[in-house]
Amino acid sequence: MIRVPHAAGVALLGILAWQAIVTLAGLPRFILPGPLAVFSTLWTSRNLIAEHALITAIEVLVGLGLGAALGFATAILLAASPLARSLLRPMLVFSQAVPVFALAPILTLWLGYGLWSKVAMALLIIYFPVTSAFFDALMRTPPGWLELARIMNATPARILMRIRVPAAMPGFASGLRLAAVYAPIGAIIGEWVGASQGLGYLMLLANGRAKIDLMFAALIVLAVLTLLLHAAVDAICRRLWEG
């Protein structure tokens, strides 16, 4: 309950600082519109922004779900198989050497301008953090637990699924929290490269038509969506694995 007034206070302070910068620097509206102009546009264009925000939200949620599931499965495979670790871990590290942003045009070429190229971008950008966080947690199971399970003649599969995976779920939760922040980045980059819908597309369209207040309004909505997604994921993780 303390977090809401605190967040509101921080937001109000940010808005006042924004207005002060615009006023004191005498910035024109096409460079940095004031908060009143942006919020006015946010209200008058609410239907347009909501339509594009829904598309971006779907892209983010589908990408987050698929990326989390794939990262979960990959981490378990790596933890269960030394052969998989020797083959896949170098590939995972190498994949991070290639800027994910540079893959957006290729994904658009392969998957088209619709939903799936943006979902693929969101998936790629969250896959490594989720896999890495969960795998590290799986490899840090307390040795005493493992030794006790072996004394009781538990099979490796049972040890993995009954002891290591439950013990590592807080690590998976940490990966999901990062994914909740990164997933919208992937979706927006995909929309910038090629799209006809979504907040990223709307921002580019508004910028091209010098509607900077609309661009900032879309940016604010994107930030709010990201914060809400992170808060929802955090609440779910706390309830399921850290409560």
Tens of pLDDT, residue by residue over 43-71, are 999 999 999 999 999 999 999 999 999 99
Domain that holds residue 110: 33-242
SS3 of 61, please?
Answer: helix
Reply yes or no on whether the pLDDT at 138 is more than 80: yes
Residue 223 tokens, joined: 């930030």
Are 11 and 130 in a shared domain? Answer: no
The residue-averaged pLDDT of 13-25 equals 90
pTM for this entry? 0.91
| Confidence category of residue 2, pLDDT binned at 50, 70, 90 | very low
Q: Is the pLDDT of residue 171 over 80?
A: yes
- Give residue 126's Cα distance to chain centre: 6
Are 8 and 105 in a shared domain?
Answer: no
20 and 45: one domain? no
| CATH number for 199 | 1.10.3720.10
- Asked if pLDDT for residue 1 goes beyond 70, the answer is no
Chain centre distance of CA 91 = 22
Q: How far apart are CA 115 and CA 26, in angstroms?
A: 41
Q: Are residues 74 and 130 in the same domain?
A: yes
The Cα–Cα gap between 133 and 170 comes to 9
Give the whole-angstrom CA distance, residue 192 versus residue 224: 19
Please count the CA atoms within 13 angstroms of the CA of 223 that sit on its side-chain side.
7
- Is the domain of 98 the same as that of 200? yes
Residues 172, 131 within the same domain: yes
Residues 145 and 52 in one domain: yes
Same domain, 88 and 10: no
| Contact call for residues 175 and 113 (beta carbons, < 8 A) | no
Same domain, yes or no, for 134 and 184?
yes
60 and 89 belong to one structural domain: yes
Do 113 and 4 reside in the same domain of the chain? Answer: no
How many domains does the structure of the chain reveal? 2
Amino acid sitting at position 84: A
Which of 63, 175, 57 is closest to 122 using CA atoms? 63
Residues 6+ apart with CB under 8 A from 43: none
On whether both 2 and 77 belong to a single domain, the answer is no
| DSSP conformational letter for 80 | H
Q: Identify the CA nearest to 112 among candidates 184, 200, 197, 195.
A: 195
2 residue type, one letter: I
Q: What distance in Å separates the CA atoms of residue 154 and residue 82, rounded to the nearest whole number? A: 19
